[in-house]
Amino acid sequence: MKEMFKINQFNLMASEMIALNRSLPDVRLEGCKNKLYPDNLPRTSVVIVFHNEAWSTLLRTVRSVIDRSPHTLLEEIVLVDDASERDFLKRPLEQYVKRLEVPVRVVRMEQRSGLIRARLKGASISTGQVITFLDAHCECTTGWLEPLLARIKLDKKTVVCPIIDVISDDTFEYMAGSDMTYGGFNWKLNFRWYPVPQREMDRRKGDRTLPVRTPTMAGGLFSIDRDYFQEIGTYDAGMDIWGGENLEISFRIWQCGGTLEIVTCSHVGHVFRKATPYTFPGGTGQIINKNNRRLAEVWMDEFKNFFYIISPGVTKVDYGDITSRASLRQKLQCKPFSWYLENVYPDSQIPRHYYSLGEIRNVETNQCLDNMARKENEKVGIFNCHGMGGVLCKHKQNNQSVSSEFATYQERCKQTCQHFSTMEMTEPIA
């Protein structure tokens, strides 16, 4: 089991022992179970991109879509292989999907392109009025699709996400996600779940079965009208491999006149992993920083500086050409980021007004206030100024962080990291 875990960073042995068409609990709120939806909902293509995905999780995703969606609403399933290096994902996959009751097409990227460009390819060859994106290790539950499509039918500028339930990476147990959390992000532009604020509960008059307006989406699971996807500029094809595209499309939807929702009556499970199983050609940090930088440069106006001061390393990466994305923003006459913070995400951690950003330094001792790698609400300390924003060292093996106190033996935390080959730079846990 432990050996197999390394292949996909989840318990592959457990996954392989579970039927591809296993039953799942109905985790919906009672009030969702008898809602009625119009008959003439738009049809969707389901686009699933994958790189070296396991057979069982990929096909369980496909099966769950087929088994739990009304076939009248399902145009096709499009599987986009992002240059996987597994033989079973070649001809055996093509043979297998031919036998399924719904048209399933397999297309391949010529070279490893990352999930963003793979999704663009899938979207471009698909034909349904709606495009639904899923990760390759999901399971759809009863009634997942209708409430998503119903929102789009009402207003094609509404982009909708299901509640993402948790499929344990350890046991593959299915656990209901909460309808009381929504999407946000922290200072470092990492997507995070936060409690749905009171204002959003009030707007819905306390009815939890109504969709939640969310500042951001997690990224992997959402439905969008095909024409609207085009209109608002699909994805930033200049983003590589993984990361950043979820906030980019979230900011863009809100700033350019759309709405982003979590439809609480729709539940889809996803295997959340603690580590990534695949390579990031060029380096994980490089790629994520590049994508985040494109996002910040195009959409965040003066607030990008806040991000850069917090994560100084980001400004060192080359982020390529963003003129076409900037002119898209111009063309669509999108609102400023300050509008988004004010109106969509007032509970954001990014301060809308501030005097100054930077370190608090004792000029005599050259020491700075430092969170000492402690968590929120714990005491701050004093430590040598390192000018690197919030960084700390983390064991590569067991993920345990080493506080800056330990690092006082070194001149800087960075040197500590370099000193131990088993450690790498990371960011503090939000």
The residue ranges that bind Mn ion (CB under 5 A) are: 135
For the CB of residue 106, give the shortest distance to ligand UD2 in the complex, in Å.
Answer: 13
- Residue 49's binding partner out of Mn ion, ligand UD2, none, with CB under 5 to 8 Å set by partner kind: ligand UD2
Q: Which stretch binds ligand UD2 (CB under 6 A): 141-149, 216-224, 336-344, 393-401?
A: 216-224
Q: How far apart are CA 343 and CA 200, in angstroms?
A: 12
Q: Which stretch binds ligand UD2 (CB under 6 A): 94-102, 237-245, 364-372, 386-394?
A: 237-245
Q: Determine if 50 is a binding residue for ligand UD2 (CB under 6 A).
A: yes
Q: Which stretch binds ligand UD2 (CB under 6 A): 85-93, 99-107, 166-174, 270-278?
A: 270-278
Nearer to ligand UD2, 135 or 146 (CB): 135
Nearer to ligand UD2, 219 or 373 (CB): 219
Report which of 126, 137, 125 is spatially closest to residue 164, judged by C-alpha positions.
Answer: 137
For the CB of residue 194, give the shortest distance to ligand UD2 in the complex, in Å.
Answer: 15
Q: Which two tokens stand for residue 6?
A: 């390394």
In order of 7, 79, 276, 370, the CA distances from 284 in angstroms are 18, 25, 10, 26
For the CB of residue 219, give the shortest distance to Mn ion in the complex, in Å.
Answer: 9
- Residue 341's binding partner out of ligand UD2, Mn ion, none, with CB under 5 to 8 Å set by partner kind: none
Q: How far apart are CA 147 and CA 16, in angstroms?
A: 31
- Residue 147's binding partner out of ligand UD2, Mn ion, none, with CB under 5 to 8 Å set by partner kind: none
Q: Which stretch binds ligand UD2 (CB under 6 A): 46-54, 87-95, 324-332, 398-406?
A: 46-54
Nearer to ligand UD2, 12 or 241 (CB): 241
Report which of 243, 191, 235, 245 is spatially closest to residue 215, judged by C-alpha positions.
Answer: 191
For the CB of residue 274, give the shortest distance to Mn ion in the complex, in Å.
Answer: 12
DSSP per-residue letters across 14-26: HHHHS-TT-----
User: Exposure of 50 by Cβ count < 10 A (0-12 exposed, 13-18 middle, 19+ buried)?
Assistant: buried
Whether 264 and 308 have beta carbons less than 8 Å apart is answered as: no
Q: Determine if 248 is a binding residue for ligand UD2 (CB under 6 A).
A: no
In order of 119, 361, 422, the CA distances from 49 in angstroms are 6, 48, 32
Task: Give the single-character DSSP code of 88.
Answer: G
Q: Determine if 246 is a binding residue for ligand UD2 (CB under 6 A).
A: yes
Amino acid letter at 67?
A: D
Nearer to ligand UD2, 49 or 372 (CB): 49
Q: Which residues pair with 174 in a beta bridge?
A: 167
User: Exposure of 2 by Cβ count < 10 A (0-12 exposed, 13-18 middle, 19+ buried)?
Assistant: exposed
- Binding mask 116-155 vs ligand UD2 (x if CB under 6 A, - otherwise)? --x----------------xx-------------------
In order of 54, 163, 164, 178, 218, the CA distances from 175 in angstroms are 21, 11, 10, 10, 17
Nearer to ligand UD2, 16 or 405 (CB): 16
Nearer to ligand UD2, 164 or 368 (CB): 164
Report which of 104, 100, 54, 108 is spatially closest to residue 80, judged by C-alpha positions.
Answer: 108
Nearer to ligand UD2, 185 or 254 (CB): 185
Q: Which stretch binds ligand UD2 (CB under 6 A): 98-106, 169-177, 241-249, 328-336?
A: 241-249
Q: Which two tokens stand for residue 316?
A: 């060192």
Nearer to Mn ion, 75 or 135 (CB): 135
What residue ranges bind ligand UD2 (CB under 6 A)? 49-51, 53, 82, 112, 114-115, 118, 135-136, 164, 218-221, 241-243, 245-246, 270, 276, 278
